Amino acid sequence: MPLPSDTAAVQQIYEQHHSWLYGWLKGKLHDACDAADVAHDTFVRILGARNAAQIREPRDYLATVARGLVIDRYRRRAIEVAYLESVASRPDATTISEEDKALIIETLIAVDKALTGLGARAKRIFMLSQIDGLTYQQIALELQVSLTTVKKHMIRALTECSLILASA
């Protein structure tokens, strides 16, 4: 629960800068609804951070938070599109409920976030193994790294994925 001083600070920042943020986002996103959603989410994020009373440069702070949220939206949409294309390209027509689709997409986003946190090499090794179906030896040859390096990165990636799935 936010402290009263943080709530008052968020209210003041909202009153003074919301229209600026909305206009800035509308110019970046070229969509009024998306701009309104991201502006709203930005203030929700600030309220949840419980540090609004310490914000000295509100527009810089708002822009930084909003940029992160926009990147998250684009990443989410890209994963959603890739998933839907993958399902559509399957030869057997399977029906997946909207709830299951949402859960699958949330899981894919969480896995993507976990893998991105590991670094480019670990993510690439994981993708070559799990998506492209290459063996560890084939990955080592393709990336010109040792088999031990491939195994080390796979252990880290699989550990992160299992932690994500366990908490879901």
Does residue 87 lie within any of the structural domains? no
Q: How many structural domains compose the chain?
A: 2
CATH number for the domain that contains residue 25: 1.10.1740
Does 76 lie in the same domain as 103? no
Q: What does each C-alpha distance from 97 to 34, 101, 102, 103, 108 come to in angstroms?
A: 25, 6, 9, 10, 16
Structural tokens at position 137: 């030896």
Does 75 lie in the same domain as 11? yes
SS3 110: helix
- Written as one letter, the residue type at 23 is G
Q: Indicate the residue among 80, 105, 130 that finishes a domain.
A: 80
What is the distance between the alpha carbons of residues 139 and 128, in angstroms, rounded to a whole number? 7
Does 55 lie in the same domain as 100? no
What is the distance between the alpha carbons of residues 72 and 37, in angstroms, rounded to a whole number? 13
Please give the distance of CA 168 from its chain centroid, rounded to a whole number.
15
What's the domain range around 121? 95-167
**Full pLDDT tens readout for the chain, 168 residues:** 556 677 888 899 999 999 999 999 999 999 999 999 999 999 999 988 888 888 899 999 999 999 999 998 988 888 888 888 877 777 776 677 889 888 888 888 888 888 888 888 998 999 899 888 899 999 999 999 999 999 999 999 888 888 877 776
What is the distance between the alpha carbons of residues 38 and 92, in angstroms, rounded to a whole number? 38
Instruction: Name the E strands within 13-167.
Output: none
Does residue 51 lie within any of the structural domains? yes
